[in-house]
Amino acid sequence: MTNLRNSFPQLTTKELKKIAWKYYLNIADLIVEVIKINGITEKQIRERLVIKNFEVAEKYLNEGRSFIACTGHIGSWEWLGVRLSLDRRFTTFAVVKPLTDPFFDKWIVSMRMKFQQTGKIDYRNVLKEMIRHKNSVNMTMIAGDQTPTDTEINYWTPFLNQETPVFLGTEKISKIMDLPVIFFDNQRVKRGFYEVELKLITDKPKETAEYEITEAHVRLLESTINNHPDNWLWSHRRWKHKRSDHN
């Protein structure tokens, strides 16, 4: 509720509680959906998570060019990775923070690799691993709403009415490796069904200004949260760092 109040100061307590209640229903469904991955078929995942305009990415795949899929903890992000791994023309890599519990970390990795086309990249070695795979066609998924640690904070921007630290990794890597950056807007259309719309941020990263790519994906994420506020992961501590403590 603190996150919601600070993000939507114009809303009443009743309106905020309504968003919170819908969020709790959604997160309960997400937990079930992750468990369901173990038994889901290709046909089911294609029917339940529809990518509306994959031709945005298709252009680069046809050129043999890898790209970065920038998203956030919106919709069913675990299903999105599984759905994308069905395309055998490229390998899907997900940038992850390993879970503290080794058992659950091993379990969630096995879920993500159900169709054998998804690999994980530790967030501490992203550039190194992407360079290692530069000669293959791949898509690297990066959640742009992760919270940096104190030592990783290099950039702040207004996000949902609050000064927020954001990672610069997507921008830096795309410029170094000259990779297109595409935002994947993952929305729940009804219980157990999702639609994903691709929005190109840039396919000429080297020509963009400093922080332009970062601001673009933050603004796209902010817009989709404003339009569908119950669709985001509100219960994580996104604003545990305050800018006043880092001046």
E strand segments, the chain: 49-51, 67-71, 91-96, 118-122, 138-143, 156-159, 162-165, 181-190, 193-202
- The pLDDT score that the predictor gives to residue 170 is 94
Q: How many CA atoms lie within 13 A of 227 on its CB side?
A: 13
Q: Taking CA 181 as the corner, what is the angle to CA 177 and CA 235, rounded to the nearest 5 degrees?
A: 120
Structural domain contains residue 155 = yes
Q: How many domains does the chain have?
A: 1
Does residue 7 sit within a domain? yes
Across the range 195-207, mean pLDDT stands at 97
- Judged against a pLDDT cut of 70, whether residue 202 lies above it is answered with yes
Instruction: Detail the DSSP E strand segments found in 167-244.
Output: 181-190, 193-202
From residue 17, give the alpha-carbon distance in Å to each of 3, 26, 181, 230: 12, 14, 35, 11
Instruction: Evaluate whether 195 touches 174 at the Cβ level (below 8 Å).
Output: no
Cα–Cα distance for residue pair 38/52, rounded to 1 Å? 25
62: in domain: yes
Greater model confidence, 247 or 87: 87
> Is pLDDT larger for residue 144 or for residue 9?
9
pLDDT tens digits, 14-43: 999 999 999 999 999 999 998 888 888 989
Question: Does the structure show a pLDDT above 60 at 117?
Answer: no
Q: For 155-198, how does the pLDDT look when each residue is reduced to its tens digit (9 = 90+)? A: 999 999 999 999 999 999 999 999 999 999 999 999 999 999 99
Instruction: Determine the pLDDT at residue 108.
Output: 66
pLDDT grade for 211, boundaries at 50, 70 and 90: very high
- Other beta carbons within 10 Å of 56: 19
**What is the reported pLDDT for 136?**
86
Tell me what pLDDT residue 109 has: 65
State residue 105's pLDDT score. 61
DSSP tag of 167: -
Residue range 198-219: mean pLDDT, rounded: 97
What predicted TM-score, i.e. pTM, was given to this entire model? 0.90
More confident residue, 103 or 198: 198
| 146 part of a folded domain | yes
The confidence score (pLDDT) of residue 115 equals: 62
pLDDT recorded at residue 2: 94
The percent of the chain in helix, strand and coil, each rounded to the nearest 5, is: 45, 20, 30
Q: Are strands 118-122 and 138-143 parallel, antiparallel or unpaired?
A: unpaired
Domain range for 201 is 2-233
Q: Which two tokens stand for residue 226?
A: 């404003």
Sign of CA pseudo-dihedral 6, 4, 244, 214: negative
Residue 246 domain-assigned? Answer: no
- Within a domain: 19: yes
The reported pLDDT for the residue numbered 38 is 84
CATH of the domain at 35: 3.40.1130
CB 137 within 8 A of CB 65: yes
* pLDDT one-digit tens code per residue, 147-157: 888 888 899 99
H or E stretch including 210?
A: none
The verdict on residue 202 lying in a domain is yes
Q: Is residue 65 a part of any domain in this protein?
A: yes
Residue 82 to residue 46: CA distance in whole angstroms: 10
Q: For residue range 40-93, what is the model confidence (pLDDT) as tens digits?
A: 898 999 999 999 999 999 999 889 999 999 999 999 988 998 888 887 778 888
